[in-house]
Amino acid sequence: MRKFLIGWFVNFLSLWLIDNTMSGISFSGAETMAFASLVLVLLNATLKPILKVLSLPVTILSFGIFSLFINAFILVIALSVSPGCYLDGFGSAFLASILLTIFNTLLNWIIGE
C-alpha cells in the first residue's frame, strides 16, 4: 500500500511539473491531476506489463525505443479517461512520457524508493 501511495504522489508531482513545463498538456485543477495520476498508476500496474510482453520482439528489434511508444500510449489512455485533461496529440504525449520518466526517476531517487 505504501508503494502504491508513493507512486501516486510521485506521478502527481511529475504531472504537475509537466503541466508547468509543456504547453501541449494541461489539467483543469489539482483534483483532475490527482485522478489522472491515480489512473496512470493503475494502468502502469495492470496494462503496461501486458503490453511490454506482447511487444517484446519489436522492443528488442528497436533496441528499446518502442517502450517509449508504450509509455506514451499508456499516458494517452490515462488522460483520455480523466475528465478535465487536455492533450495536444500523440507527439505531446510522447514528449510528456519521456519527461514523466525523467521526473519520476528523479523524484523516486530523492524520496529514496
User: What are the residue ranges spanned by the domains of the chain?
Assistant: 2-111
pLDDT in tens, 4-55: 899 999 999 999 999 999 999 999 999 999 999 999 999 999 999 999 999 9
pLDDT in tens, 56-100: 999 999 999 999 999 999 999 999 999 999 999 999 999 999 999
Other Cβ atoms closer than 10 A to 32:
19
Give the amino acid at 7.
Answer: G
Whether the predicted model's global pTM rises above the 0.75 cut: yes
Angle, helix 30-54 to helix 66-80, in steps of 10 degrees: 140
CA 66 to each of CA 9, 15, 91: distance values in angstroms, whole numbers, following the listed order? 27, 22, 14
